[in-house]
Amino acid sequence: MTVVRCPTCDRPVEWTEASRWRPFCSERCKLIDLGAWAAEKHAIPGEVVETDDGPKRHRESDDE
């Protein structure tokens, strides 16, 4: 059986159909992670590009 660590709290999580929130240990940890993405605390590195709506967004670069 594969066991992974919850990305939010680091608890062990069995990677099975019974683990409803995998890779998270719970719905709470899943929502904490989602909130961090929404608040732009997590980002995928890439070059900065200008969009039509004004604010700058990041795009993955093929040059790296």
Q: Is the dihedral of CA 58, 43, 26, 21 positive or negative?
A: positive
Whether residue 29 is annotated as binding a ligand: the answer is yes
The answer to whether 9 is a known ligand-binding residue is yes
In the block, residue with structure tokens 């590195």: 45
Question: Is 13 marked within a binding site?
Answer: no
25 annotated ligand-binding residue: yes
C-alpha to C-alpha distance for 3 and 56, rounded to whole angstroms: 38
Annotated binding site for Zn(2+), which residues?
6, 9, 25, 29
**Binding-site annotation: residue ranges:** 6, 9, 25, 29
